[in-house]
Amino acid sequence: MILKERTKSVTHRILESLDHRTTLSPSEKIQYDNQIKGYAGELEFDNKLKDARVPGILISDLLLSTKDTSYQIDSLLITDTRIYLYEIKNYTGSYHYKDGDIYSDSGHLIQSPVNQVERKRAYLHNLLLNNGYHIEIIAHVVYITPNFYIYSLPKTSSILFVGQLTSHFESLSSHQENKNLKLANTLIALHDASYRPTNLPNYLLTELKNGTMCSKCFSFAYTTSRQCRTCSKCGYRENSAEVIHRSIEEFRLLFPEKPVTKKGIYDWCGKDWSESRIKRVLKKHYQLHSSSRSSYYD
């Protein structure tokens, strides 16, 4: 049972939008590329888990916080007796293990992913305890890419390579269908949907290309019929009101501090859609706040 589906992270969605509306710097390009690869690895993990039909509740991308830190959990599988916490890594290449540390071929030390996942396990344990739940949590680091290897790694149950996933999931199939829905819903309620990381790129509205993009291929070029936007590049058709709504959400993601106004969205959408049409979408999805000096939606 999937209680929370995976979505692209805030960083991923912002970089995706900026990549099409402006030119990313080389370091932002690398950051974007890592986001794409990381997300693809997580989806790969999800598919394997779904195929295995393990009886349990699945929660993806959970953002939780303690008093002084926020942490993201890639995947949680809640069974009747235990919680399995998975940290998914998409590293490629060969590494080697020596005295508790993992080194790349160039000799660089990589931060121990096992320590990282164990820290999250401790945070989650305490959070659940504070909410009245005492349940065993088992944490695993999953290396989802086939061309990744750590030489001389001692046998450890904390690390799962992609080839071990099927048998790992099979070992969980004896669990009973679930009685921990209340616990799962407690965690979902604690999810911080408004979280924004601090290392986002800098950008200004005036630097970005206006217009609506195709949701499949990101092209700005299109033709319209009465109710639809048809992409000139890939032919994908979308309902115009949905295109405008999606573009408003993109604006809000990029500029959470800016008020959403009819005129602002008219410009943002490339002045292609009438203000009355934009107003209809705004009225349908958002609340209007009016004063004598300004009106905005949120």
Q: Which residues bind Zn ion (CB under 5 A)?
A: 214, 216-217, 219, 231, 233-234, 236
CB of 231 vs Zn ion, minimal distance in Å:
3
Q: How far is the CB of 7 from Zn ion (least distance, A)?
A: 21
**What is the smallest separation between the CB atom of 59 and Zn ion, expressed in angstroms?**
32
Q: Nearer Cβ to Zn ion, position 153 or 217? A: 217
Q: Cβ closer to Zn ion: 60 or 247?
A: 247
Q: 161 or 236, CB closer to Zn ion?
A: 236
Question: What's the min distance (Å) between Cβ of 215 and Zn ion?
Answer: 8
Q: Which is nearer to Zn ion, 216 or 263 (CB)?
A: 216
How many other C-beta atoms are found inside a 10 Å radius of the C-beta of residue 127? 17
Nearer to Zn ion, 80 or 272 (CB): 272
3-state secondary structure the chain: CEEECCCCCHHHHHHHHHHHHCCCCHHHHHHHHHHHHHHHHHHHHHHHHHHHCCCCEEEEEEEEECCCCEEEEEEEEECCCEEEEEEEECCCEEEEEECCEEEECCCCEECCHHHHHHHHHHHHHHHHHHCCCCCEEEEEEEECCCCEEEECCCCCCCEEEHHHHHHHHHHCCCCCCCCCHHHHHHHHHHCCCCCCCCCCCCCCHHHCCCCCCCCCCCCCCEEECCCEEEECCCCCEEEHHHHHHHHHHHHHHHCCCCCECHHHHHHHCCCCCCHHHHHHHHHHHCCEEECCCCEEEC
Give me the least distance between CB of 232 and Zn ion, in Å please: 8
The CB-of-214 to Zn ion minimum distance in angstroms stands at 3
Nearer to Zn ion, 8 or 20 (CB): 20
From the CB of 285, what's the least distance to Zn ion, in Å?
23
Q: How far apart are CA 146 and CA 91, in angstroms?
A: 9
Amino acid at 259: P
Amino acid (one-letter) located at 5: E
Measured from the CB atom, the residue of 168 and 229 that comes closer to Zn ion is: 229
